Structure 1
């Protein structure tokens, strides 16, 4: 890893959502040429997804504390994990120097870590009652919200928006557009990319 490399931690636990995780993981790693590298981080060396896909994890949970950006995908056991002080106490994130995102039930981790304050949040329907109970104002009809360096997304396919926001904040709109167009459905490159950019543009600062 060179000194110029910027690191992204996707923090996963057993029961993680494949769509939340791998869409973001795949899109962010299209920025490798610009020095950005996304890696999975977890409290164990191996985790299994909600559908039984088992993966080896490259980094320990504490990698999130030193990464330049951190993402919490959703998962089956997110509520229990967010209430587990043995996990929470190992995390010391810093929105002054890190970009931080949560998706679906992964937004519970942001709430538990005190990162949302009075920020409105997007999450999925299942996680909404838990977020409200945590004192967070949930926006029902928008898949993406961000304030400064912290972002939330709701719905598994909202991973596109969270990844786009991270890419834009990391390398700017031009390189983000190029990376998205390379991933876009054939024949829909401009329309698909323009839609993603339009959703996150108000939150890019």
Structure 2
């Protein structure tokens, strides 16, 4: 089965990447999932919000997005980042400015809220805080 996930200009592209990551788990069943845009270049609602989950932190470091920032990542990627002199934190996520990193297969939930409007973040915190 071929699946195309379409991201429109001005929408939250993280939703597209998260959906692609989940649906790509069906590769063994013959699924081919791709993300595409409605135009050759898609502008995020957040303009330049950059989030990395697990080994994507290696790409951010190679592209100099992390610079002197510490990162959160998975246990497999951790020694590789440390080998390039990056500080890896012992926490599930880290964000500063428009850069967010998270580690673990289901860590996208920690990256997704970064850059959201304060009302959205406050709402999420109000929902989960009774259980913390």
Tell me the TM-score normalized by structure 2: 0.68
Would the alpha carbon gap of residues 150 and 103 (structure 1) be closer, same or farther in structure 2, given more than 3 Å must change?
same
Cα separation, 2, equivalents of 1:4 and 1:126: 34
Runs of 4 or more consecutive aligned structure 1 residues displaced over 6 Å after TM superposition: none
Q: Is the 8 A contact 1:124 1:155 kept in 2?
A: yes
Cα separation, 1, equivalents of 2:83 and 2:15: 25
Is residue 44 of structure 2 the alignment partner of residue 68 of structure 1? Answer: yes
Aligned to 2:5: none
Is residue 59 of structure 2 the alignment partner of residue 59 of structure 1? Answer: no
Q: Is the 8 A contact 2:9 2:44 kept in 1?
A: no
CA RMSD of aligned residues (A): 3.8
Encode CA deviations 1:119-160: one digit per residue, 9 max, x unaligned.
010001111011112231101x21111111011001123221
Which stretches in structure 2 are left out of the alignment for 5+ residues? 1-7
Q: Is the 8 A contact 1:100 1:151 kept in 2?
A: yes
Q: Which has the higher contact order (CA 8 A, sep 6+)?
A: 2
Would the alpha carbon gap of residues 112 and 142 (structure 1) be closer, same or farther in structure 2, given more than 3 Å must change?
same
Which stretches in structure 1 are left out of the alignment for 5+ residues? 13-20, 23-39, 41-46, 71-96, 182-188, 199-205
Q: Is the 8 A contact 2:10 2:43 kept in 1?
A: no
Match of 2:129 among 188, 191, 194: 194
| Partner secondary structure for residue 111 of structure 1 | helix
Cα separation, 2, equivalents of 1:146 and 1:112: 18
Cα separation, 1, equivalents of 2:51 and 2:25: 19
Cα separation, 1, equivalents of 2:83 and 2:106: 25
Is residue 55 of structure 2 the alignment partner of residue 105 of structure 1? Answer: yes
Q: Is the 8 A contact 1:9 1:69 kept in 2?
A: no
Q: Is the 8 A contact 2:9 2:42 kept in 1?
A: no
Q: How many residues align?
A: 121
